[in-house]
């Protein structure tokens, strides 16, 4: 069964430090990959997506992610954390263009300390 | 900026009662979805809807659930006889005409359903 695994349900970094949120997927074919962010009392907002073009994807708010097929990973990074980055982050996969179904990871809560 | 809206934000109901969760997708979108997230668990796909019919559904989406687009703006999820395990946050999403390769889904803020 296809799945998405996010390592670490909680990640804490200091303001200005590197943010690294991990996502691994299991799929027999290259999927479409997404990172969503959820701020308190808001819906899921798309940060970035991989759709088989460039393997390094840049998103909003300074985030980027790199698709590594050999490692079946799509880790999310940001060079310097801001207090406003504190939120819950979800990795998701869509297995083909013929389905709208997103399969989500369990989410990672990012805490940013001053 | 257009957004998906959901009402109510929180619904409390008694076990066995029917509930209807409402969503207003972005106006020019034609694909609609419901997801749910039980507290502490993953966001799970329930159903997708296009051209006034279900295009895909998960094993969770049994006969207790139904979806409808009653008019040109609303998209509803009905649970006929709620169970305790239906307590969750329910998210509505919509996407443009062509989902294509990695078409983006726009999510609403969710409705928290509590079944007592």
Any idea what DSSP says for residue B9?
Answer: S
Q: What is the DSSP string of B49-60?
A: EETTEEEEE-TT
A94 or A37, higher pLDDT? A37
Q: Using an 8 Å CB-CB cutoff, list chain B residues near A42.
A: 109
**Cα angle at B98 between A46 and A92, to 5 degrees?**
30
- Rounded to whole angstroms, how far apart are CA atoms B67 and A114? 45
Q: Tell me the average pLDDT of chain A.
A: 90
**Res A95 pLDDT > 80:** no
Q: Which residue of B has its CA nearest to A101?
A: B45
Residue pLDDT, tens place only, B26-84: 998 889 999 999 988 889 999 999 989 999 999 999 999 999 998 878 999 999 999 99
Task: Select from A82, A72, A69, A68 the least CA-distant residue to A19.
Answer: A82
What is the reported pLDDT for A53?
Answer: 73
Question: Which pLDDT band, with edges at 50, 70 and 90, does A2 fall under?
Answer: low
| Lowest pLDDT segment from A41-50, B76-85, B101-110 | B101-110
Q: A34 touching B, CB under 8 A?
A: yes
Distance from CA of B73 to the nearest CA of A (A): 19
């Amino acid at each position: 069964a296809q799945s998405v695994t996010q390592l670490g349900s909680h990640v804490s970094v200091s303001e200005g430090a590197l943010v690294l949120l991990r996502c691994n997927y299991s799929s027999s074919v290259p999927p479409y990959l997404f990172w969503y962010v959820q701020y308190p009392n808001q819906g899921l907002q798309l940060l970035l997506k991989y759709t088989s073009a460039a393997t390094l994807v840049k998103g909003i708010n300074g985030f980027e992610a790199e698709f590594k097929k050999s490692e079946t990973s799509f880790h999310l990074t940001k060079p310097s954390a801001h207090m406003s980055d504190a939120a819950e982050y979800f990795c998701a996969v869509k297995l083909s263009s013929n389905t709208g179904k997103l399969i989500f990871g369990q989410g990672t809560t990012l805490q940013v300390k001053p | 900026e257009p957004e998906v809206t959901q009402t109510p934000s929180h619904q409390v109901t008694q076990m066995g009662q029917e509930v209807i969760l409402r969503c207003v997708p972005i106006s020019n979108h034609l694909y609609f979805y419901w997801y749910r997230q039980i507290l502490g668990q993953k966001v799970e796909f329930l159903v997708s809807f296009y051209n006034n019919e279900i295009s895909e559904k998960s094993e969770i989406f049994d006969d207790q659930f139904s979806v409808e687009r009653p008019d040109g703006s609303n998209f509803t999820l009905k649970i006929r006889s709620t169970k305790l395990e239906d307590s969750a946050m329910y998210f509505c999403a919509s996407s443009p005409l062509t989902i294509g390769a990695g078409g983006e889904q726009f999510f609403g803020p969710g409705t928290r359903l509590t079944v007592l």
